[in-house]
């Protein structure tokens, strides 16, 4: 992805309109640690003094074998000693994992998604107090005959910096349950789908998911099969509305 396109992505995310359609319950704010894992996460740009932002994903999700429907709770935390100020959490799907809706968040237009992604939402957060966390429950669909990944960047509200990014990290199983009502998928596991008759289905995505080090300019793109790791330091154009 060119630097010009990455800047366009950051700018358009801020201006995207809200489109929460399915009511899964409002985002929940909570104090203290939340259950989950920060597996696959790393700090990117330096956060303001006293602010330490991270994210959590569930260690396990359950996918309905008939519909492919699932829910994923994404949590952003401020483990620092000072409030965060305005930030935003992005939930972006890759491969077999499609993010369908995140109540309280705005859908990222298809043309503004990072390379390799097909779905995503941007969740604005006015401020996150020191020691506080905020969770969003995403309505998603997982195609069990494919590999799937999710990415959670935490950015400044204008998209100029990415303080933390978890992923793209896979959900999957090495022991599929095609005849059960649902299949449990584990965080950080590459999916090895098996057809109902026991035959192996072709895997999608390249083996391995190496994470590239940060570039000197502070912008990078990681191609891990169909997934990408992206962020942008460039400040987008003036915000609209």
- pTM score of the predicted model: 0.69
Q: Is the dihedral of CA 164, 29, 27, 185 positive or negative?
A: positive
The predicted-structure confidence for 123-156, as pLDDT tens digits, reads as follows: 999 999 999 999 999 999 999 999 999 999 999 9
Level-2 CATH architecture, domain 3-58+67-169+209-230:
Sandwich (2.60)
Q: What is the DSSP letter of 1?
A: -
The predicted-structure confidence for 2-35, as pLDDT tens digits, reads as follows: 444 444 444 443 333 323 222 233 333 333 344 6
E strand or H helix at 11, and its extent?
helix 3-15
Q: What is the DSSP letter of 145?
A: T
Residue pointed to by tokens 């289905």? 201
Contact of 171 with 189, CB cutoff 8 Å: yes
**Backbone torsions φ then ψ of 10, nearest 5 degrees:** -60, -40
- CA-based nearest residue to 193, from 68, 104, 69, 86: 68
What are the residue ranges spanned by the domains of the chain? 3-58+67-169+209-230
Q: Measure the N-to-C terminal CA separation of the chain; round to a whole number of Å.
A: 27
């Amino acid at each position: 992805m060119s630097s010009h396109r990455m800047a366009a992505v950051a700018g358009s995310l801020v201006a995207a309109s809200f489109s929460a359609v399915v009511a899964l319950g409002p985002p929940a704010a909570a104090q203290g640690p939340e259950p989950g894992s920060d597996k696959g996460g790393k700090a990117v740009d330096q956060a303001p003094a006293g602010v330490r932002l991270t994210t959590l994903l569930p260690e396990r999700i359950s996918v309905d074998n008939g519909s492919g429907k699932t829910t994923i709770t994404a949590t952003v935390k401020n483990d620092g000693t000072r409030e965060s100020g305005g930030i935003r959490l992005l939930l972006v799907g890759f491969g077999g994992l499609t993010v369908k809706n995140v109540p309280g968040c705005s859908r990222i237009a298809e043309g503004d998604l990072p390379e390799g992604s097909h779905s995503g939402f941007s969740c604005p957060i006015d401020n996150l107090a020191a020691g506080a966390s905020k969770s969003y429950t995403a309505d998603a669909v997982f195609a069990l005959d494919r590999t799937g990944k999710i990415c959670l960047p935490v950015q400044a509200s204008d998209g100029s910096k990415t303080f933390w990014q978890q992923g793209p990290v896979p959900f999957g199983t090495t022991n599929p349950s095609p005849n059960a009502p649902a299949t449990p998928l584990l965080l950080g596991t590459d999916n090895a789908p098996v057809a109902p008759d026991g035959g192996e289905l072709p895997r999608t995505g390249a083996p391995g998911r190496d994470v590239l080090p940060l570039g000197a300019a502070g912008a990078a793109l990681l191609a891990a099969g169909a997934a990408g790791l992206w962020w942008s330091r460039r400040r987008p154009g003036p915000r609209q509305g």
